[in-house]
Amino acid sequence: MREQGEGYVYLVGAGPGDPELLTLRAARLLREADTVVHDRLVHPAVLEHARPHARLIYVGKEGGGESVRQEDIHTVLIAQAKLGRKVVRLKGGDPFVFGRGAEEALALEEAGVPYEVVPGLSAGIAVPASAGIPVTHRDLSGEVTFATAHRVGSPPDWHFLARAQTLVLFMAGDRLEETVRALVTAGRAPSTPAAVVEAGTWEHQRVVEATLGNIALEARREAVGSPALLVVGEVVSMRSRLPSLVAGGSTKAGHPEPWVAEAGHE
């Protein structure tokens, strides 16, 4: 229980982009916050929930430059809480899914700062859905594996990942070629349907659909950038059977006409 005047940190998931995918709890905490510490994957409209006099601190990448060091983010959170402020640490998606939220929670724990985690909608589920891809399907896939292509230390277990019925790979954007090569070398058929979704649920969402064997080439041709997710598995073929979703009936900020590039399956 939070005591009067005591600083407190909420590690809050901001969802995948579309501001309407923010939870009601996140919106309320933002309205009450004295300080909001946010990063690159948070839609600007989400920050409009904050009070006009709240202090906004940006800790994301600037123009592709160096990230703010994780230790410096911990220092900011702890310092703001120790001033007796109510701090919302806003993170893209869910704070505990590939978001270093656990490291922030540990730092707060060790500093004796009271905190809690407010889950958010992870891009891993919301972004494929927004592109017309159900991550599970009774006939096509009874499991989904979330992984990151960017691992510090040991490399991913490609043989395990190559066997996943539905594979959702985070942070695959800038190393798509190596990722695809690794999956195919580990036994995944190059003819498997695959899609790269860039900026899923944002106004400028883009989807490139191809086979696993062609997806890296197609994504490069379309100059797909970050943030992007790679989805591999038969479920990707559902896009062609859900044209109403793919045509923009799905959840995307502003519901614009989506930009879609389709490459023929082998």
Q: Which residues participate in catalysis according to the annotation?
A: 39, 61
Candidate list 201, 214, 250, 251; residue touching ligand SAM; CB under 6 A:
201
CA 215 centroid distance within chain: 20
3-state secondary structure 2-22: CCCCCCEEEEEECECCCHHHC
Closest CA to 123 of 94, 166, 156: 94
CA 141 centroid distance within chain: 22
User: Could you give the string, one character per residue 95-124, with x where binding to ligand SAM holds by CB under 6 A and - elsewhere?
Assistant: --xxx----------------------xxx
Give 89 or 91: the residue with its C-beta nearer to ligand SAM.
91
For residue 166, report the phi and psi dihedrals to the nearest 5 degrees.
Answer: -115, 125
Candidate list 8, 11, 12, 16; residue touching ligand SAM; CB under 6 A:
16
Q: Do 148 and 228 touch, CB atoms closer than 8 A?
A: no
- List all residues 6 or more positions away from 27 whose beta carbon is below 8 Å from its beta carbon: 49
Closest distance of CB 128 from ligand SAM, Å: 9
User: Could you give the string, one character per residue 27-46, with x where binding to ligand SAM holds by CB under 6 A and - elsewhere?
Assistant: --------------x-----
Longest dimension (CA), the chain: 63
Q: Residue count at the site for ligand SAM (CB under 6 A)?
A: 25
Does position 179 interact with ligand SAM (CB under 6 A)? The reply is no
Does position 168 interact with ligand SAM (CB under 6 A)? The reply is no
Quick one: which segment of 27-35, 57-65, 196-204, 211-219 binds ligand SAM (CB under 6 A)? 196-204
Measure the CA angle with vertex 194, ends 192 and 197; round to 5°: 175
* Closest residue to ligand SAM, based on beta-carbon distance: 93
Give 36 or 123: the residue with its C-beta nearer to ligand SAM.
123
Q: Do 162 and 183 touch, CB atoms closer than 8 A?
A: yes
Site residues for ligand SAM per CB under 6 A: 16-17, 41, 91-94, 97-99, 122-124, 127, 170-171, 197, 199-202, 226-229
